[in-house]
Amino acid sequence: MDRSDAPDAVGADDTAPPGDPERVLANLPWRLDPATLREVIPDPEQFRNIRRRLTEKLGTAMDNRSRARLLSLRAVASRAAGDLDDALADGRLALTYAEATGELRRSALAQARLAHVLRWRGEYDEADRLFAQANSPELPDRLRVALHEHAGRCCVDQGRLIEACLHFERALDLRGTADAELLDRVRVSLDAVADRAAKAGFGPYPRRRAELLEPDQPPVPARDGDLWGYANPEGDLVIAAEYAEAQPFREGLAWVRRPDDQRWSLLDRAGSTVLPASWLVVRPFADGLAWVSQGEPGGWRAIDPQGEVVVAPGFADVRPFRHGIAVVRREGWGAVDRTGRLVVPTRYHGFATMLVAGGKVDGFTEEGLAVVDLAGRYGVVDRTGRVIVPPVHPALVVHPVAYLVATAAGRWGALDRQSRPLIEPTHPDQAGVLAEIEQLLTDAVPLL
């Protein structure tokens, strides 16, 4: 549970009355059992009482945000009370409402709370997948720390102790060693790891995030002599090496080109031809669509897996679809939806969405935001084309709850998510701004 479920918890007031069940649940003290790495619950009836009061609040909650929050908190209370069937039902429904809001942070909280319930039920595969799905670099560090901690404890339950240690290490990397409470929790967790490792070893090798999100991994391109085929995880060819070029599988489909043809055809994971050789230039499928061209200027168009053109040609360069939107270039850069409708006019010199956590997003973030470049000045647009931050800043970086902006003199400050001044541009680097934002955040350590 997060002590403030608002998507932008910067400077927000906690207006809930002292006896409100949400506040009571958020402020309950808790500690880890050193053997089970679960919260110690001395009085389950206390949580059943909180659940009853949350149910009363649900009776007047009409919007998706409120229902997502209250249902996922009720799942927390039910789990703590040991009523895991009720917790599972609430957790799944909460995630449905959270995803309907389109808000990354709200969905991540609902995924994590559901994953915690699944962990207590021993349904580890789905729990692991949900923890991995929830943990995005676009989230606040404190929430990512909690996700790594809980994912690590879930790995301990399964005997995946090396993987657990990697999660605990990542949590410490995100928050540093100055967080005394985090250090205490990690010490308890590592003591449990040491005890279990002494009895049964450290368990299997850690899984990659891609393995968690897609347990049934597709075959990968593999060379046999001068030609390419596809091999399974054990290295055995499962699709014969018949191709001059072979792209990786994406969404169950892969483009291949035979030695006697300049055009690409499409395979499914069984190696069957889905589309015959048709296109001279192709990009992998993403969000159910692939960009293809015959190589002519401005000839990029998008097709579906049946080969039907769903976005007409007319673009000089393109980026993959993501959440129904793709960045495209005509006379300048803009964006189209899955029907080809221009949602961001092609007037920008580039899309350069940098995240404060590091790395660059190819287009829009999970929250539907993109940093645009107009003649070397940067601003922010959303998926509808609305200008959130006018492109007037010499530098701009997306923070989970704000935008870091720089002046021409290289001094850094911040705007809030409504583009209002939040921190004056007086800092010589981003670190000082991040420290100030940390002080403004009202939510404490997320309790899932």
Q: Which two tokens stand for residue 153?
A: 């404890």
Which domains can be identified in the chain, with CATH numbers?
21-213 (1.25.40.10), 216-278 (no CATH), 322-440 (2.40.128)
Check residue 444 and give its pLDDT: 47
CA-wise closest residue to 336 among 298, 302, 365, 375: 302
With contact defined as beta carbons under 8 Å apart, do 12 and 5 qualify? no
Say how many C-beta atoms besides its own lie within 10 A of residue 316's C-beta: 15
Check residue 7 and give its pLDDT: 38
Check residue 17 and give its pLDDT: 62
Check residue 447 and give its pLDDT: 53
Q: Which two tokens stand for residue 427?
A: 């800092």
CA-wise closest residue to 98 among 63, 57, 126: 63
Render each residue's pLDDT in the chain as its tens digit; 448 residues.
333 343 344 434 445 565 889 989 988 888 899 999 999 999 999 999 999 999 999 999 989 999 999 999 999 999 999 999 999 999 999 999 999 998 899 999 999 999 999 999 999 999 999 999 999 988 888 899 999 999 999 999 999 999 999 999 999 998 877 788 899 999 999 999 999 999 999 999 999 988 898 878 899 999 999 999 999 988 999 999 999 999 999 999 999 999 999 999 999 999 999 999 999 999 999 999 999 999 999 999 999 999 999 999 999 999 999 989 999 999 999 999 999 999 999 999 999 899 988 888 888 998 899 999 999 999 999 999 999 999 999 999 999 889 999 999 999 999 998 999 999 999 999 999 998 988 887 554 555 6
Check residue 403 and give its pLDDT: 96
Cα dihedral angle (389, 391, 395, 401), rounded to 10 degrees? 10
Q: Which two tokens stand for residue 332?
A: 């300048």
Check residue 442 and give its pLDDT: 55
Q: Which two tokens stand for residue 420?
A: 């209002």
Check residue 96 and give its pLDDT: 97
Strand order in the sheet with 290-293: 281-282, 290-293, 300-303, 309-315
The count of C-alpha atoms lying within 13 angstroms of the C-alpha of 388, restricted to the half-sphere facing its C-beta, is 20
What residues does 245 pair with on adjacent strands?
Answer: 257
Check residue 157 and give its pLDDT: 97
What residues does 395 pair with on adjacent strands?
Answer: 406
For the four alpha carbons of 384, 385, 386 and 391, in that order, the dihedral sign comes to positive
Check residue 12 and give its pLDDT: 40
For the chain, the maximum distance between any two Cα atoms, rounded to a whole number of angstroms, is 75
